[in-house]
Chain A
């Protein structure tokens, strides 16, 4: 029995549906309600619909994850501008952290980080973040 989008309340329910189980012509919207000016609303306050990919996750693609160390960060925002997956959270010109649901583990943020030692480093996915922070490398002397 084909379903109308209006009947679906829970995101989990859509994940179980096959491609032919939604009513033909059912429009899949980005938001639950009309939003007038998306550019003015930060991500946390947007009324995302379950059909927006923001509500899904690709974190299980990763083998290694970037870990963020606030102590060395200079808020240059290189990681923010070059992140292909909108996974670097930056608010009020300050870097806050990594969105692990959307990060695919490409490692660009670590490559472009200019600090010494880097304030973003790749660690194995299974490692605890606190454990990773404890084994952070020391400043490298220039030879």
Chain B
């Protein structure tokens, strides 16, 4: 059943199923994303979480912050955990062995939703093979990547999501280096190429866009990948109160474009139609420099000898925005 959320006031009637007094940093965007995802539906939710900030801080002995069924598993296999939950649920439903309370909800049309949360480390690097496998097998679940572009839980090491020029503990900026040397991996396209029926990129500051995409994902039959921008006060080094502003700057400068890719497949699994929709177009595209200036992890780029990296950033962002627009126009 799709929950009706017309505006923010209606959305605020939701009863949170994620509890306070967890140990996430003040101003952490992970929490905002988790809240928005869980509140997008009133149906029962089963959550699997990979190791990472979210797991470590919401299940500290002897307490839990989850009011939904919750499973913690290794760093690398959140996708497999969610996939097996989904497979087990399908079998139990077929055999009529669901618990009475669940069965009642299923009869009312409130199917349980299965969601996996993982950080960018558990998605882009460590969890990639299991994620790829689960998507290839086509289980019915949603995978949400909380992308803060760094291994924040273990002290800020670079991941393959870290963008060029960022200073991290394993790619520190200094007199000989401008920080991270590699460009960011384009995970959304990679997951779309698995043939997943629905793949989207979201930002917590655009809550309505996020909720709409999550609801669409819940309705789809098959694996769904959501890439969520998660501003990190500790590793991006901005002030806690600026989380939403930094997220907005990312969206408005097109560093973090909001779009979705819908694949339609026939019964043999052959993709016969792919569509890319840009769901948010900034009224005025701001220069990337403003996004970078808001985060002290890029502070060194403003030195004269590193200025060329900012130009490179702008070029890369413009090229990507151009590419997305061309794809949307061509309907591929």
Contacts and interface: CB of A to CB of B under 8 A. Distances in A.
Contacts of A30: 19, 64, 66-67
B23 A52 contact: no
A133 interface: no
Given A39-B15, A53-B65, A108-B244, A101 B27 contact: no
Interface string A37-50: 11111110010000
A2 interface: no
B245 interface: yes
A82 B205 CA distance: 8
Contacts of B28: 84
B29 A84 contact: yes
A14 B63 CA distance: 10
Interface residues of B, number: 54
Contacts of A76: 8
B129 interface: no
A108 B240 CA distance: 7
Contacts of B42: 39-40
Contacts of B58: 53
A111 B247 CA distance: 13
A125 interface: no
Interface string A75-114: 1111011111111001011000001011011111011100
B129 to A, nearest CB: 31
Given A53-B58, A86-B16, A93-B13, A107 B27 contact: yes
Given A52-B63, A54-B19, A93 B27 contact: no
A47 B23 CA distance: 22
A16 to B, nearest CB: 11
Q: Which of A53, A87, A93, A111 has the most CB of B within 10 A?
A: A53
Contacts of B10: 93
Contacts of A55: 21, 63
B241 A110 contact: yes
Q: Which of B23, B60, B64 has the most CB of A within 10 A?
A: B64
Interface residues of A, number: 52
B12 to A, nearest CB: 4
A106 B8 contact: no
B292 to A, nearest CB: 20
B16 to A, nearest CB: 5
A56 interface: yes
A27 to B, nearest CB: 10
Nearest to A17: B62
Interface of B: 8-32, 35-36, 41-44, 58, 60-68, 101, 105, 204-205, 207, 233, 239-245
Closest 10 CB pairs of A and B: A102-B20, A107-B241, A106-B27, A84-B31, A106-B26, A104-B26, A106-B240, A54-B19, A39-B42, A86-B20
Interface of A: 14, 17, 19, 22, 28, 30-31, 35-43, 46, 51-58, 61, 75-78, 80-87, 90, 92-93, 99, 101-102, 104-108, 110-112
Given A110-B241, A111-B245, 10 more contacts: A46-B67, A53-B65, A54-B21, A55-B21, A84-B26, A84-B27, A93-B10, A93-B12, A107-B240, A107-B241
